[in-house]
Amino acid sequence: MLNNKTIAVVVPAYNEEKQIGQVIETMPDFVDRIIIVNDASTDRTQEIIISHIDEDQANYFNKEIGNKKIVPNKYNEAEIWLNQQEKDEIKHFMPSEIYNNKPENGRLILINNLKNSGVGAGIARGYKWCKDNRIDCTAVMAGDGQMDPDELESICKPVINENVDYVKGNRLIHRSAKYIIPKGRYFGNSLLSIMTKIASGYWRVSDTQTGYTAISLDALKSIDIHKIYRNYGMPNDMLVKLNITSCSIREVPIKPVYRVGEQSKMKIRKVMPGIAWLLFRSFFRRLWRKYFLRNFHPLFILYHTAFFLLLISTPYLIKILKLTFSGTPANPVTVLAFIFSFLFGFQSLLFAMWMDIQDNERLYV
């Protein structure tokens, strides 16, 4: 515990037999629960985790946790409805089984996904367990040993001590980043970070691909965790979901860790198109849900006006270019139509982005 608040760490694991034991053994003592979600591994990952459960169960004294019972009255219909939704939410997750006979008595909890579902789905399943058991702060650490356990406290403290909703590590601001992080990953991470800034509304964040994070119980309750993106775009999707519900955020510097025996399963070239499409859709989902349905904002009109005018300017531009290359003078009306639609569209886009940045400044704490 930290400051009398419960701490859990969700560890998604898929074929991590070489590293998972070290991850468990080096977990800081202040962590109350280690929730390992085994994503249908085909190696000895489950066997190694179970061996640690047998050791752990005998030594751990459990603090009683669980869902509060709500006594019905004429004022709490909404609470009763939400409570029922939380109970029924498990139906939306991939089928899984909890290995522990008495998970309430152990520090180390093993959840086995019955089908390989992706790292995002694994984290979401761990989040579900932590939300149901009212864990105050839930962190995420990878099962491949690429996250320094000594940095976990700095990740969790803003959530525990300052009521920050979401804290994420940032490797790109570490002085060693450009030397330690492989060049392809550094470039891909930077590109995805720029795209995520625009899509999520958290314009200050960078290193959006890091999975070293901590989230408050209130923030977990504010989003539909069963709808979290199931694969490697999960951190990007998470930022969009949190921004829609106006969750506060902070980044803390962490060191990049590579070449510790891990074997990366993420191929930048393969995941980039999928994440880019996810961010494109997420951008418009954020605009409609946050700035139209939840709280109407002028930037909603400005963004859509910009896209409409820029779209209209495209055929004029193509026509002008074709005429220019063919040596035929362009009609002045066509040129004026292009200039008008493009300039006003671009100006609307700049104003919309500026208003977006200003509106989200309040979320950085």
Do 348 and 272 reside in the same domain of the chain? no
Do 96 and 242 reside in the same domain of the chain? yes
Number of separate domains in the chain: 2
**Integer Cα distance of 221 and 50 in angstroms:** 30
Residues (pLDDT < 50) of the chain are 61, 63-64
- Spell out the alpha helix ranges (H) of 164-212: 177-180, 183-200
Out of 293, 325, 341, a domain closes at 293
What per-residue confidence (pLDDT) applies to 79? 85
Question: The domain spanning residue 165 has which CATH number?
Answer: 3.90.550.10
What per-residue confidence (pLDDT) applies to 72? 83
Do 348 and 331 reside in the same domain of the chain? yes
**Integer Cα distance of 160 and 190 in angstroms:** 29
Do 192 and 59 reside in the same domain of the chain? yes
Out of 264, 293, 322, a domain closes at 293
Do 209 and 107 reside in the same domain of the chain? yes
Give the range of the structural domain holding residue 309, as residue numbers without chain letter: 298-363
Q: Is residue 174 part of a domain?
A: yes
Sheet containing 108-113: which strands, arranged edge to edge?
96-98, 108-113, 33-38, 7-13, 137-140, 213-216, 166-170, 249-253
Whole-angstrom CA distances from 357 to 191, 201, 242, 280, 345 are 19, 7, 16, 18, 18
Do 323 and 233 reside in the same domain of the chain? no
3-state secondary structure of 365: coil
The structure's pTM equals 0.90
What per-residue confidence (pLDDT) applies to 60? 53
Q: Is residue 2 part of a domain?
A: no
What per-residue confidence (pLDDT) applies to 76? 85
Do 39 and 138 reside in the same domain of the chain? yes
What per-residue confidence (pLDDT) applies to 189? 85
What per-residue confidence (pLDDT) applies to 268? 66
What per-residue confidence (pLDDT) applies to 264? 59
Do 248 and 314 reside in the same domain of the chain? no
**Integer Cα distance of 25 and 42 in angstroms:** 22
Out of 259, 293, 327, a domain closes at 293
Residue type at 292 in one-letter notation: F
